[in-house]
A and B are shown apart, each in its own frame.
Chain A
Amino acid sequence: MSKQNGDTSPQDGGVAVRLFRLTNRLKKKITKMRKPDDTPGFLAPEAIAEADALITELCEDCPAAMNKHFKALVAAWTKMRDMPDGAERKEQAQDMFTVAHEIKDISALCGYDLVSYFAESLRDFVAGTELKLEAQRVIIQAHIDALNVVLKQGIKTDGGAQAEELKKMVKIAIDKYR
């Protein structure tokens, strides 16, 4: 084993910087050569095309997956909304964070930019807030209402007058109650 982390203290007034030159284990392992050359490799274009086709296929199920997660989000919110401040509500907030994060990931992958925008905003709000009940209610409800409209109407892009209107609605709620 080489020298441990953190023992780079200067001894002669200079700053010690250690440089570890490692053998290219990965290339050796892949090429099964003792001394592989430096030529950059590549993955089979057919494999890349197949993986892209897989993403496209997954995205066909995206609306159903987003709606399923949105239902879970609403259920978590309904449960949490009237809970008194405390450990149980924080736990519920964690569930909301996870579901919003999931919606964000799926929607971003498949190009549902507006869904992704609101899910990310909700996720960050739930993570960053002190969970003051009244303020939280209004802001989370605004996010959920916006997501509901976007999902029901199947709005995919991030632009357009309706998208701007929805973003404005959520921003007003955040500015007013944060």
Chain B
Amino acid sequence: MGVEAKPLPYDLSNLTVLIVEDSLYMHSLFSSMLKIFGVGDIMVCEGGHEAMDLITVTQARRKTRYINHIDIVLMDWLMAKGDGKELMKWIRAHEKDEIRFLPVVVVSGYTTDIITATARDMGAHEILVKPVSAKGLAGRICSVIDHPRPFIQAPHYFGPDRRRQALPYKGQERRVTQSEKIRIEDVKTEW
């Protein structure tokens, strides 16, 4: 019987992560942690507005030798120069698939359920609540890589499928739209 190969940890050297964080202390911490994790290219913006400009350039369809496509956006929620909400809205409403399908991890200092729910309902893939731990950050990155949820485009939502698992529900039916009225259309993308 052959010896089973030991699984190897992810090599993130091909990955480009954009950090959008206005706190100097926090973005240098995130930057250093990602470097330790082996992320190949780390970009930093101090606010949502700067991030929009950078993402527009990096995600341009034609890839150049000098500019990498951003693979994951790690963004703070509360920032002075363009907050996370504004950036999230811009990303998910963008006409380019390279931008609107970007995986986003929201980092929030707010521990309230309202912020978590808002970020999720605006299309965040993962939410990381401060204080940040190395295990927490690593877990969110692995989750984005391992579980690429399909995107849903509904009348009031565009973003990754918010249902992580389908469980039977025994309570009262509260959905506004009945399932027989929903027409699911599978769309293939080049992205």
Contact = CB atoms under 8 A, between A and B. Distances in A.
In the A-B complex, the 4 residue pairs with the closest CB atoms: A51-B134, A20-B151, A44-B9, A18-B153
A54 B29 contact: yes
Interface in B42-80: 71-72, 78, 80
Interface residues of B, number: 65
A137 interface: no
B146 interface: yes
Interface residues of A, number: 58
8 contacts: A5-B92, A14-B183, A20-B150, A22-B150, A26-B15, A41-B9, A41-B10, A106-B25
A97 B184 contact: no
Contact of A30 (B15, B80, B186): B15
B142 interface: yes
Given A1-B96, A5-B158, A51-B33, A19 B152 contact: yes
A70 to B, nearest CB: 14
A29 B135 CA distance: 22
A27 B144 CA distance: 9
Contacts of A10: 183
A40 B146 contact: yes
A15 interface: yes
A127 to B, nearest CB: 9
Given A8-B153, A8-B154, A17 B183 contact: yes
B97 interface: yes
Given A30-B11, A98-B22, A102-B25, A2 B182 contact: no
Contacts of A26: 15, 71-72, 103, 144-145, 148
A55 B22 contact: no
A46 to B, nearest CB: 9
A110 B130 CA distance: 10
A20 B138 contact: no
A1 B188 CA distance: 10
A52 B181 contact: no
A7 B191 CA distance: 19
A5 B29 contact: no
Contacts of A174: none
Contacts of A8: 153-155
Interface in B1-60: 7, 9-12, 14-15, 22-26, 29, 32-33, 36-38
A12 interface: yes
B182 A21 contact: no
B23 A43 contact: no
B23 A102 contact: yes
Greatest chain A CB density within 10 A among B138, B161, B177 is at B138
A19 B184 contact: yes
Contacts of B186: 18-19, 21
B72 to A, nearest CB: 7
Given A2-B97, A18-B153, A22-B189, A105 B130 contact: yes
